[in-house]
Amino acid sequence: LMLLIPFCYWLLTKLIRKFRHGRMGYDMFVLKLPVFGALVEKNILARTTRTLGTLISSGVPILEALNITRETAGNALFERIFTKVIEAIREGEVICKPMREHSTPGFHPLTLFFWVLMGSFPGVMIISVALTAGRNIGDEGSNSMQNLLMVGGFAAGIGSLLCALFYLLKMRARVIDELVVNMVDVGEETGELDTMLYKVADTYDEEVSVMTEGLTRLIEPLLICFLGVAVGFIVISLFMPLVKLISELA
């Protein structure tokens, strides 16, 4: 059962992402994740600005360059932003205006669903441990199993609530910094848009490199600690009811 829970979460996510709104909700969810979301966002900005700058400097028409850049984004929210930019260009507007107006994701119900899903995961795992232990110890350990089920339900509820509140507080945060918009604006006014895009790409490439290096140094000890806590929790959850049962029989 404990192995089945993560698989069900993964399968549900894959199924939801098959739909257009599901993909949008998931991609917005990923961009708001602590640390990892910022890394994904900066990586997308570096890739798209460098692609657009290369195409413009090669003499590709701006609309065609924006269409190609949109396909390289790999994120539904950024694809929507580039679509708005293309529509604005066709109407005779500049690039920076729609980029500034549409860089705030706003609320998406499926994004909230993914945050609630993530928040409930630890509690659901505790419930699965309780159910697994309950089958092993029989009726004698039913009180311990019920207590563990209550803890799991409480953890799932609190986790879901906290994650939902975190999303509601962060949903208005911009995914394209004002610095990027201003540099694009300057590039359009001076006729050196490709040069400004290269500078933006270089800046974000450097930030991604620094963040990746830092995460690489942290991930190994954190992973060891996480696995140790997880294994210890599972062992304690399985053996505490048995210890209590043995003490009662003695």
Per-residue pLDDT tens for 104-127? 888 999 999 999 999 999 888 888
pLDDT for 64 equals: 93
**Residue 240 within any structural domain of the chain:** no
pLDDT for 150 equals: 87
Over residues 197-211, the pLDDT tens digits come to 999 999 999 999 998
Nearest to 81 by CA among 38, 52, 123, 124: 52
Mean predicted confidence (pLDDT) in 1-16: 86
Distance CA 243, CA 139 (A): 15
- Mean pLDDT computed over every residue of the chain: 86
Contact 31, 75 (CB under 8 A): yes
Q: Is 234 exposed, middle or buried, given 0-12, 13-18 or 19+ CB atoms closer than 10 A?
A: middle
Mean predicted confidence (pLDDT) in 72-96: 91
What number of other Cβ atoms are within 10 A of residue 138's Cβ? 11
Over residues 13-34, the pLDDT tens digits come to 999 999 999 999 999 999 999 8
Q: Is 95 exposed, middle or buried, given 0-12, 13-18 or 19+ CB atoms closer than 10 A?
A: buried
pLDDT for 2 equals: 67
Tokens of 150: 């209550």
pLDDT for 249 equals: 65
**Residue 180 within any structural domain of the chain:** yes
pLDDT for 125 equals: 85
Q: End-to-end CA distance of the chain: give it in Å, rounded.
A: 31
User: Reduced to 3 states, what is the DSSP secondary structure of residue 174?
Assistant: coil
**Residue 143 within any structural domain of the chain:** yes
**Residue 236 within any structural domain of the chain:** no
Nearest to 197 by CA among 179, 178, 183: 183
Distance CA 72, CA 14 (A): 21
**Residue 239 within any structural domain of the chain:** no
pLDDT for 139 equals: 54
pLDDT for 198 equals: 93
Give this prediction's pTM. Answer: 0.81
pLDDT for 213 equals: 84
**Residue 213 within any structural domain of the chain:** no
Q: Is pLDDT at 161 greater than 90 in this prediction?
A: yes
**Residue 238 within any structural domain of the chain:** no
Distance CA 192, CA 180 (A): 14
Distances (CA, A) of 135 to 66, 102, 233: 58, 53, 18
Tokens of 68: 């190609």
Contact 32, 118 (CB under 8 A): no
Q: Is pLDDT at 212 greater than 80 in this prediction?
A: yes
Instruction: Provide, rounded to the nearest whole percent, the portion of the chain with pLDDT above 90.
Output: 50
Q: Is pLDDT at 240 greater than 70 in this prediction?
A: no
For the chain, how many structural domains are there in total?
Answer: 1
**Residue 110 within any structural domain of the chain:** yes
Distance CA 97, CA 206 (A): 26
Find the domain containing 177 and state its range. 3-205
